[in-house]
């Protein structure tokens, strides 16, 4: 079956309106706010073209009212200002957090402390029980106190 765009005069008027946007009434429709879409006595009463050629039906613009409201919730002019504000807030917060960390490290005299400390040789020598770590699948030492509690 040939494409309806190439049928010329044989094409129905509704198909021509759907295929030719310059003749379509939807071109002049103001769709800036969800209230205009949801108004069934105004622009919401406009019939939209089907999404596919055979199995799809015509829809009213007001049928997409819920989706228009959800879209406007996340995609509105305030979103740009919110993004700019959040970028400045995140940068400021992180810089203040790093400053507070440095002050606490200086006050508590923790400048030379390593977070990963090796076990003492005396402790390693006293270990007689080893257990497989379920996360790393490696052998790990278990102290006598922990082995007795199990």
Reported as a single tens digit per residue, the pLDDT across 77-134 is 899 999 999 999 999 999 999 999 999 999 998 887 766 777 788 888 888 888 888 8
Farthest CA pair distance, the chain: 96
Determine contact, residues 130/141, Cβ cutoff 8 Å: yes
Comparing CA positions, the residue from 51, 52, 77 lying closest to residue 64 is 51
Confidence of residue 150 (pLDDT cuts 50, 70, 90): low
Task: Write the CA distances from 46 to 14, 65, 109, 126, integer angstroms.
Answer: 13, 13, 72, 83
Determine contact, residues 25/31, Cβ cutoff 8 Å: no
The predicted pLDDT at position 29 comes to 41
Q: Using the Cα atoms of residue 137, residue 142, residue 148 and residue 149 in order, give the sign of their dihedral.
A: negative
Determine contact, residues 126/147, Cβ cutoff 8 Å: no
Contacts with 18 (C-beta within 8 Å, 6 or more apart), sequence order: 24, 49, 50
% of the chain residues with pLDDT over 90 = 21
Q: What are phi and psi of 29, to 5 degrees?
A: -75, 125
- Go through 8-38 and write b for each residue having 16 or more CB atoms within 10 A of its CB, e for each that does not: eeebeeebbebeeeeebeeeeeeeeebebbb
Say which residue, 149 or 102, is predicted with more confidence: 102
Contacts with 71 (C-beta within 8 Å, 6 or more apart), sequence order: 34
- This prediction's pTM: 0.40
CA 58 to chain centre: 32
Section 69-73 average pLDDT:
84
The predicted pLDDT at position 10 comes to 43
């Amino acid at each position: 079956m040939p494409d309806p765009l190439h049928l010329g005069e044989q094409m129905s008027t509704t198909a021509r309106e759907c295929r030719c946007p310059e003749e379509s009434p939807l071109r002049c429709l103001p769709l800036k706010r969800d209230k205009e879409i949801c108004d069934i006595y105004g622009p919401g009463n406009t019939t939209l073209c089907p999404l596919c050629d055979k199995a799809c039906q015509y829809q009213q613009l007001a049928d997409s009212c819920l989706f228009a409201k959800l879209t406007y919730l996340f995609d509105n002019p305030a979103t740009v200002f919110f993004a700019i504000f959040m970028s400045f807030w995140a940068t400021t917060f992180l810089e203040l957090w790093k400053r507070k960390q440095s002050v606490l490290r200086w006050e508590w005299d923790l400048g030379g402390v390593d977070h990963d400390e090796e076990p003492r040789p005396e402790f390693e020598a006293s270990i007689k029980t080893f257990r497989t770590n379920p996360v790393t699948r490696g052998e790990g030492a278990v102290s006598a106190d922990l082995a007795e509690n199990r």
